[in-house]
Amino acid sequence: MPSPVRAEPLVPVEGPPPRSAPARSRTQRYERPILAGIATVAALLFFWGIWHSAYHSFYASAVRSMTDNPVAFLYGSFDPAGSITLDKLPGFLWPQALSAMVLGFHPWSLVVPQALEGVASVVLLHVVVRRWAGVPAGLLAAAFLTLTPVTVGLGRSVTEDAPFVLLLLLAAEATQRATAHARLRTLVLAGVWVGVAFQCKMLEAWAVLPALAVTYLVAAPTTLRRRIRDLAVAGTVMLTVSLSWMLAAALTPAAARPYLDGTTDNSPVALVVGYNFLTRFHALGVDAAGTGSIVADQAHSRAPVGMGNSVWKMFSPGLASQTGWLYPLAALGLAAGAYAVWRRRPGRTDPFLAGYLLWGVWLVTFFLVFSLGSVTGHTYYMGVVAVALSAMAAVAVTRVRRRSVLGAVLAVNVGWCAALTLYYPRFFAWSVAVAVVLALPALALFTVVGSRPRRAALAVALAAVLVVPTVWSASATSLRYNQPGGFGRIGPGSIATRNGALALDPAQQRVYAYLTAHRDGARYLAAVPRWQMAAPYILSDNASVLPLGGFTARVPYPTAAAFHHLIDTGRLRYVLLTKADVTPRALGAKTPGRALVRWAVEHCSPVRVPRYVLYRCGAAGHGGTDQPMSVNTKENSAGSA
């Protein structure tokens, strides 16, 4: 029998003392209180003002519908009748739906899961970086992540990236343990976490695979054959978990589940591969139409001013002000790690090499993916980049021994922060002056004094670097610069989420009362040409309103045959429009939904209602004895009662 393979010793370089050390160091004694303080700050930033949360109408409508029945929950139905899904996989909304079931359906109850996930991400990043580079680096990484505006925004939003970041961190933590001991079951666990992350962000979750696979393949203390075998097993599990929802949707008869938004053929492949992946690279000439997806240039809008439209978009103020405050320090950590590996030639199983591969490949991969792919003007994509930036920046501060080099990069970082915030000169510009006042004496002392004063000078220099992003992050506590429940952008470019859907306005109440009183057993109260018109009725009363054309209004759902069948069988009696929908220009639009609107205008009977244009289809609409009815106040009151 072959002799067993002996693993190389796992001795960290300049790392924490071994676990078997009899006494805890002074740093370790203060670790938990400091970490608790960082987590408390994170919780305050994430939860502060949560009672002012607003509904994000599209996602919140889906959550309301998902609480209605298991099928809507599983598939992420936009409407309570289970007609059409979100234009994404629904995994990121499952925690929100569960929260709404437990706490009640409120704007703040939909934000709570993301806030908790954000705190967990901060703590978990500390754990992973601590194992790699020691306690100080772990604490710094947690602090850096907490004070990065995009992290605060995610903790106060309803977007996919808060659970996504946490799940990828769980995968990184499992990979780290699997690599240290060549443990297959732990590597499989990492694959499971990536598979669950796929349910939140689809193919974007697989962008972490190079980092995880390279780390294990290089640094696990076992034979190459076993490393390859372990990766194959874990990859198979990851693929199975990732594709589980798609497989369930593909195997379920179309009549037994909602139509898949974003597609022309009701295919999960079109939804995931075409609409939510290939369309993100339309700037590179990629055409997703052949996949059964809505055409790329119709599905996603261009980036707004300040977001950048080239491969340099990651350095544009719109993105960097949310994520990139620590670019110089992170670049130093990346370069210093490469230099240390080249100079020291560490053993293959060296823990520092493993950690450097994990975070270095993570950072480079996601940076390139977002540089080349469209983020459609959304900053919340950057949460997964902020994690790696925080880890690399922390290692730069704690590992780089040349004071002149570290001092120079700290100075550059202060200048970079000043330049970013001065792009918005009316947004707390005084923070730049504070940063400069702190930086000048601190950096001068840092390069010349002895060890103890140098530590104090370094602390002040770090404060100078962090003062501007801290001000940005803290601004989230003001509704002027961030409103919980939206997309999570913080600062002068934030957009308040309209909260009118908490209750219908008077005109909507009159329409709702009339439709309810004259529903006559129909499955739907009405069909509408846009999801925005359906959302208020779903949010306020969980009403079944049929949105024509899905999120983009270009999805061929329902088909003309299905639409007429709904009318002929009495499951749909009304089509609700605005006055803008019946103009010649609007009626002339060549989209599937507009074709149905044109048919309703030509063949159904108008009903006079304030501010809206309502058509009754079916028996009355085809020349029956029923006459068009006008809405009056008494009838509204009776209907509401």
Q: Residue 618 corresponds to which tokens in the numbers above?
A: 């079916």
441 in the same domain as 538: no
Q: Residue 397 corresponds to which tokens in the numbers above?
A: 């501060």
**pLDDT given for residue 447 in this prediction:** 73
Lowest mean per-residue pLDDT among 238-247, 320-329, 486-495, 523-532: 486-495
Q: Where are the alpha helices (DSSP H) in 324-477?
A: 327-344, 351-372, 383-399, 403-422, 430-446, 451-474
Number of domains in the chain: 4
Does residue 603 lie within any of the structural domains? yes
569 in the same domain as 470: no
Last residue of one domain, picked from the residues 65, 81, 105? 105
Q: How far apart are CA 446 and CA 403, in angstroms?
A: 7
Does residue 577 lie within any of the structural domains? yes
516 in the same domain as 457: no
618 in the same domain as 518: yes
Query: Looking at this protein, which amino acid is placed at residue 492?
Result: P
473 in the same domain as 421: yes
How big is the chain by its Cα radius of gyration, in Å?
A: 28
571 in the same domain as 456: no
575 in the same domain as 535: yes
**pLDDT given for residue 312 in this prediction:** 85
Does residue 144 lie within any of the structural domains? no
634 in the same domain as 509: yes
Q: How far apart are CA 492 and CA 154, in angstroms?
A: 17
Task: Calculate what percentage of the chain has a pLDDT beyond 70.
Answer: 87
Structure-model confidence comparison of residues 344 and 190, the more confident one: 190
Contact 200, 187 (CB under 8 A): no
| Cβ neighbours for 310, distance < 8 A, ≥ 6 positions apart | none
Q: Residue 42 corresponds to which tokens in the numbers above?
A: 């994170």
Phi/psi for 11 (5° steps) reads -105, 115
The residue assigned the tokens 């304030």 is 610
Contact 193, 243 (CB under 8 A): no
Q: How far apart are CA 454 and CA 460, in angstroms?
A: 10
Last residue of one domain, picked from the residues 105, 124, 144? 105
587 in the same domain as 522: yes
Last residue of one domain, picked from the residues 443, 477, 511? 477
Provide mean pLDDT across the span 320-327.
95
Q: Is pLDDT above 80 for 110?
A: yes
Q: How far apart are CA 606 and CA 593, in angstroms?
A: 19
Q: Is pLDDT above 90 for 618?
A: no
- Digit-coded pLDDT (tens) for 23-39: 566 667 889 999 999 99
**pLDDT given for residue 532 in this prediction:** 92
Residue of 268, 105, 112 whose CA lies nearest to 199: 268
Q: Give me the torsion for CA of 562, 565, 571, 572, rounded to 10°.
A: 70
Does residue 241 lie within any of the structural domains? no
**pLDDT given for residue 378 in this prediction:** 83
Give the sheet arrangement for strand 605-608, strand by strand: 545-547, 526-528, 574-578, 612-616, 605-608
**pLDDT given for residue 344 in this prediction:** 87
458 in the same domain as 538: no
Q: How far apart are CA 68 and CA 230, in angstroms?
A: 42
Q: How far apart are CA 139 and CA 508, in angstroms?
A: 52
Q: Is pLDDT above 80 for 472?
A: yes
Does residue 168 lie within any of the structural domains? no
Does residue 90 lie within any of the structural domains? yes
Domain range for 260 = 249-300
Query: What's the Cα-to-Cα distance from 584 to each of 446, 530, 621, rounded to whole Å?
Result: 71, 18, 22
Q: How far apart are CA 114 and CA 485, in angstroms?
A: 10
- Digit-coded pLDDT (tens) for 490-545: 988 777 665 545 678 899 999 999 999 999 999 999 999 999 999 999 999 999 99
Compute the mean pLDDT over every residue in the chain, rounded to the nearest whole number. 87
Lowest mean per-residue pLDDT among 398-412, 482-496, 543-557: 482-496
**pLDDT given for residue 144 in this prediction:** 98
Q: Is pLDDT above 50 for 566?
A: yes
Does residue 417 lie within any of the structural domains? yes
Report which listed range, 55-59, 234-238, 481-485, 545-549, is most confident.
Answer: 234-238
pLDDT band of 117, cuts 50, 70, 90: very high
606 in the same domain as 521: yes
pLDDT band of 589, cuts 50, 70, 90: confident
pLDDT band of 448, cuts 50, 70, 90: confident
528 in the same domain as 447: no
Q: Residue 381 corresponds to which tokens in the numbers above?
A: 């994509």
CA dihedral for 289, 295, 300, 301, sign (positive or negative): positive
Tell me, rounded to whole angstroms, the distance of Cα 351 from its chain centroid: 31
Provide mean pLDDT across the span 584-595.
87
Q: How far apart are CA 208 and CA 628, in angstroms?
A: 59
Reported as type and span, the H/E element at residue 607 is: strand 605-608
Provide mean pLDDT across the span 118-142.
97
**pLDDT given for residue 627 in this prediction:** 42
- Digit-coded pLDDT (tens) for 353-405: 999 999 999 999 999 999 887 776 788 899 999 999 999 999 999 999 888 89
Residue of 551, 537, 547, 545 whose CA lies nearest to 501: 537
Q: How far apart are CA 376 and CA 610, in angstroms?
A: 36
Provide mean pLDDT across the span 15-27.
54
Structure-model confidence comparison of residues 226 and 308, the more confident one: 226
Q: How far apart are CA 80 and CA 62, in angstroms?
A: 8
Does residue 320 lie within any of the structural domains? no
